[in-house]
Amino acid sequence: RGKMPGLLLGEVFPDFRAETTTGTISFHQFLGDSWAILFSHPGDYTPVCTTELGRAARLSGEFSKRRVKMVALSVNSLEDHQGWTKDILAYNGEDGESGELPFPIIADANRELAVALGMLDPEEKDKDGMPLTARCVFIIGPDKRLKLSLLYPATTGRNFDEILRVVDSLQLTAAKRVATPADWKPGECVMVPPSMSEEEAAAMFPEGIYSKELPSGKKYLRYTPQP
């Protein structure tokens, strides 16, 4: 099977025009100078997707606080998206009749975007035997470049708390010359990159640097309080 076209980290995210539940958007214009998350889901009126979009809606205030715009996508019609929105809001315990989701959903019924962005899951098919979109997460920086991508299969719902944590790390490491260790949460110690000399690190991190002793004797595990 030929490789699906896909985007590489650091590439400029393609600009596109699309119909969404809040009107037509030009993607780069929609982004402005914000960060953004574009997340796809296999289909409207499906169980796992309903829980995911419900969770995304609940966390939308946290994402806005971080200047992150959210936009969803699936290979369904606008009409389906609007009908399904009521179910998502009802799942969240909100009034589905009057409410709207806090982010647009792109209608990609002809699958053009899903193909261009490498979002299709060749294993998962709809009733007509057409591939469905996988659960992609693309995080895009204010420079319009792809900063992170995640790809989950249809059977496994995403963890939106992890996506929020990742945004915190990406934003911190874009602003400061540090890296974040496994399972890092905001406020915890960060790591000094290996490319930085001891002198430079001492000047850059006045709060001090702690090196962990290792059997190799090499001092590469260097921690400093989050700047």
- 169 to each of 22, 73, 122, how far by Cα in Å? 30, 25, 32
H or E stretch at 39: strand 35-40
H or E stretch at 87: helix 78-91
The residues pairing with 224 across neighbouring beta strands, listed in sequence order, are 190
Residue partners of 79: CB distance under 8 A and separation at least 6:
none
Helix (H, G, I), strand (E, B) or coil at 89: helix
The structure tokens listed for 189 are 């110690």
Catalytic annotation present for 136:
no
| Dihedral Cα 119, 104, 17, 30, nearest 10 deg | -110
Q: Which of 36, 49, 70, 113 is catalytic?
A: 49
Catalytic amino acids?
49
